[in-house]
Structure 1
Amino acid sequence: MSEMADLIYFRIQTQMLPYLIFVFISVSGVLSGRSCYWNAQCPFQLYSSKTPYDTVRGDIRDQPNLPNCEAVSAWTLNRHGNRNPGDSVIDDIKVIIGLKDEIISSYEAGTSQLCSQDIENLRRWSWNETIDASASFLTGTGYEELYGIGKRLREKYPQLLPSSNDSYYFRTTNEQRTVTSSKAFVHGFTDNTNLSLSIDGPWERDDLIRPYENCEKYQVETKASQELDDQLTAYYSSTEFIAVQNNVQQRLGISTKLSSNDIYSIYELCRFDRSWTPTLKSPWCSVFTDDDLVVLEYEDDVWHYYRNVNRTNDQQFSI
C-alpha cells in the first residue's frame, strides 16, 4: 500500500507539473509588468551635484599621451567630494522620515503602489544619527573620491613626482568638507612616495578662490535677489512638477498631503542616502520614476543658475 501510494503520488505530481509550470509562467508574466525599484536593471544615475563622482567620471590614465609632448606641470581646481546634507536640509529630511510608518501602513492597507521588496527595504532602513552632528561634512565616500583623483593623476604622470616638496602648492577654502577633501587629494597624490606635502590655508577671507563671498554686488544683486525665489516658485508651479507631486502622492497612497517642499525633501533624502550605499540605491528613491527624477534634477539647474550668475543689465557674468 505504501509503494502504491508513493507511485500514485508521483504520477499525480508528474501529471500536474506542466500545469504548475504554466501557472508559474503566467504569474511571472503579470509580475514582470510592474516596475520595481529594488531590482531595476538600469536605475537612474543622475542627481545633479549629488551624483557620486565614480558614477560619471572618466579616467585620465586611459587618455592617450599627445605626440611629441611631455607633461611638465599640472594645475587643478577641485570641488569637495561627497558630503552630508546641511542643517536646513536635515531638518526637512527629518519631517519626511516621520512619514515612514504611514508609508508602510499604506502598503499594508493596500493603498500603496510600491513593491513588496521596496517596502521591506524601507522597513529596515534607519537614519544615521551621527549626521545630525556633522552637517555638510565630507563623507567617507567623498574622501575616496578625492583620494582617487590624486592617485590617478600620480599614476598618469609619474614624472611630476620629484623629491622636493617645494615643487608643489596646495590651497584650500575654509570649510570642513574642502579642508578634508584637499587632504584626501594630497594623500592619493603622495601615497607610496617619499613626499610629505603641506596645504596652505584655510584663510578666513579668501579673495583668490572664493572672491564672491566678499563681493557686495554678488551678495546683493544675485545671491539675495528676488529673481531666484521667483524662478523657483515658477518651477514648483509648473505642470511638470505638479505631475510629479500628484504621482508620488498617489504612489504612496498616504493621507498626509505632500507639499512641494515635501516632494523635494524626499528627493534630497533619496539622493543623499543612495550616494552613501555600496549599491547606490535607497528605498526612498522607490517613490519616483525615472521621469520624475529628470524633473526633480532640474530644480538644481534653476537654483545654481540664478544663484551663481549675475544678470544685471541683461548681461550674464559667471561668478
Structure 2
Amino acid sequence: MKCILISIIYFVIIKDISYVLSIKQNDVLNHLGTRTPYRFRHNKDDSKIKYPHCKDTKIWMIVRHGTRLPSAKDIQGMNTTLKDIKLETLLQHKHGKGQLTQGQLKDLEEWTSTLDIEREKYLTLEGRDEMILLAERTQNRFPNAIKNKYNNKTFLFRYTATERAQQSARYFTNGLFEKKDAQDVIFLPATKVDPVLRFYKHCDRWQKQVKKNPDTYKEQILFGNSYEMNKTLESISKRLGLKRVLSLGEVNLMYKICGYETSWNKHQISPWCYAFDVESAMRLEYYHDLKHYWMDGYGHNLTYRQACLALKTMFKIFSDKPDPFAVFMFAHSGTLLKLLTHLQLYKPDSPLTGDAMDDTRPWKASLIDCFATNLAFVLFKCKDGDYVLTLHQERVIKLPMCEKELCPLTKLLEYFHDSIHNCDYTDMCSLDNDASK
C-alpha cells in the first residue's frame, strides 16, 4: 500500500513538473497579448524592499482588473464559430489530415463552451486569486506604507463602474486585511464619467480624433492584409487539417480564446492554442500590438496627454498632505497603457507599421499589459529628502527621466510640471479644440 501511495505521489509530482516545463518551452504562451496570464509575468520575490537611510511611507498603485470572461461577441463566437471549426478539425483528422497530436485532438474533442453571455467580462476565479495574492505580496514589500490594519483615513480604494474592477478591488482588500476588516472597507463611489480612471471614455476630442478615426487602424489593417498574415492563415488552416483557409476573423477569435482560457485555468492550456506555432502566435500578437500602439500608446499625442489626470492624483498624495498613505485604484488596459506611455516607457525607436513586423519592439502587450498588470509609485522618506520608487508588474523599474531607480521627488515634480499644473480635462477634450475641423 505504501509503495502504491508513493507511486501515485511520484506520478502527480512528475505530471505537475512536466506541465510547468511545457509552459516554459511552449513559446506560444509568451505571445498572448493583453490576455496573457499574470502568473506568467509578475515578480514572485515578495521580500521587503529596503534602501539605506530610507523608509517607505506612502504608496499609490493603479491595477488593471484581474482575468475576466470574454465579451458577449466573443462568447457568441465560442458558441457558434469555434464549435463549427472544432467539428471540421476532428472530421478532417479522421481522414488523416492535419498536424495535431492524439492528445491535442482529445483535448479539442472534450472542449465545449457553456459561458453565459449575461456574464460577459465578469471577473473569473483566477482573477480573484490574482488580486488576493497581489495584495499580499505588495504588503510584504512595503509593510510600513501598507498597514495590515484597515483605517479609512489612511487607505483609499477606488474602482471604475464595472463588475470586473469592483470585484478586483474587493478581493484585493481581502488580501490586505483580516476578514472582519475587509468587510468594513469603504470604497469611493464609482461614477459613469470618471476623468481619473477612465478619462478616455468621455474625452470627446479623443473619441473623434483617435478611436473613431479610420487612420488609427490603417497600420493594423495593412498588416492584416499582408502576405505574412495570409501565409499565417494558410499555415493555421493546414495545421488543423481544414479544406479551406480560415478568415482572419476566425483565427483572431481562436487566438483570443486561447489567451482567455489559458489565463483563467492555471492547470490547463486552452486547446485553441494548439492551432498556433510560435511564428503564427507572434504575428497575431503584432496584429493586436499595432492597434494598441496607435490607439492607446504613442500614435497620438492626445492619447497619453489625458493620463495626466491619473498621474496628478499621485503627486497630490505624495505632497505634504498627511493622509491617505495607501491608494489603490482599479481600472483597465486602456488606462494602464496610456499611463505607461505618459511616463515614456516601452517606446519603440520608430512608430510601429503594418508593412513589416518589428520583432525587437519594447511595446509588446504580452509583456507590459497582461491581465492584472499594475503600476505602483512608492514614496520613500530618506535622510537627504523624498524619493519615489516605481514598480511595473511588481518589478522595480527606472523611469527614463531619472538617473536611478530611486528618483528624487523634486526631479519628478519638475519633469511633470505640465502634467500637474496644465491638466485641464475640459479644455483638452473639448471638440472646440479639434484640429481636424
1:100-179 mapped onto 2 (5 Å cutoff): 100-130=86-116, 132-159=117-144, 160-161=146-147, 162=149, 164-179=151-166
Letter in 2 for 1:184: Y
Counterpart contact for 1:61–1:156, Cα < 8 Å: yes
Partner of 1:61: 46
SS of the residue aligned with 2:197?
coil
TM-score by length of 1: 0.81
Q: CA deviation at 1:229?
A: 3.2
Partner of 1:218: 206
Counterpart contact for 2:70–2:260, Cα < 8 Å: yes
SS of the residue aligned with 1:71?
strand
Q: Deviations over 1:266-317 (max 9, x none)?
A: 11121111112233411111111011111111122111122224756xx575
Counterpart contact for 2:69–2:119, Cα < 8 Å: yes
Q: CA RMSD in A?
A: 2.2
TM-score by length of 2: 0.60
Distance 2:201 2:289 in 1: 21
1:257-272 mapped onto 2 (5 Å cutoff): 257-272=245-260
Aligned in 2, Cα 1:219/1:123: closer, same or farther, shift over 3 Å? Answer: same
Partner of 2:58: 73
Distance 2:111 2:268 in 1: 14
SS of the residue aligned with 2:160?
coil
Partner of 2:190: 202
Query: Which shifted more, 272-281 or 176-185?
Result: 272-281
1:82-97 mapped onto 2 (5 Å cutoff): 82-93=67-78, 94-97=80-83
Q: Deviations over 1:112-170 (max 9, x none)?
A: 1111110011111111333x221111111111111111111222333331563321111
Counterpart contact for 2:293–2:299, Cα < 8 Å: no
Counterpart contact for 1:104–1:123, Cα < 8 Å: yes
SS of the residue aligned with 1:185?
helix
Q: CA deviation at 1:228?
A: 2.9
1:184 pairs, out of 171, 187, 205, with: 171
Aligned in 2, Cα 1:310/1:56: closer, same or farther, shift over 3 Å? Answer: closer
Letter in 1 for 2:213: S
Q: Identity, % of aligned pairs? A: 22
Query: Which shifted more, 170-179 or 154-163?
Result: 154-163
Letter in 1 for 2:269: K
Q: CA deviation at 1:251?
A: 1.3
Distance 2:130 2:273 in 1: 23
The structure showing larger relative contact order (alpha-carbon pairs under 8 Å, at least 6 residues apart) is 2
Distance 1:283 1:258 in 2: 17
Aligned in 2, Cα 1:224/1:41: closer, same or farther, shift over 3 Å? Answer: closer
1:216-255 mapped onto 2 (5 Å cutoff): 216-255=204-243
Q: CA deviation at 1:250?
A: 1.1
Higher strand share: 2
Distance 1:51 1:247 in 2: 23
Larger radius of gyration: 1
Letter in 2 for 1:154: Q
Q: CA deviation at 1:176?
A: 0.8
Partner of 2:275: 287
Partner of 1:98: 84
Aligned in 2, Cα 1:307/1:280: closer, same or farther, shift over 3 Å? Answer: farther
Distance 1:229 1:168 in 2: 41
SS of the residue aligned with 1:298?
helix
Q: Does 1:42 align with 2:21?
A: no
Higher helix share: 1
Q: CA deviation at 1:41?
A: 6.3
Q: Deviations over 1:31-84 (max 9, x none)?
A: xxxxxxx96761122211111101111036236411111111111011111111
Letter in 2 for 1:191: E
Partner of 1:276: 264
SS of the residue aligned with 1:205?
coil
Distance 1:60 1:193 in 2: 28
Query: Which shifted more, 156-165 or 83-92?
Result: 156-165
Aligned in 2, Cα 1:175/1:60: closer, same or farther, shift over 3 Å? Answer: farther
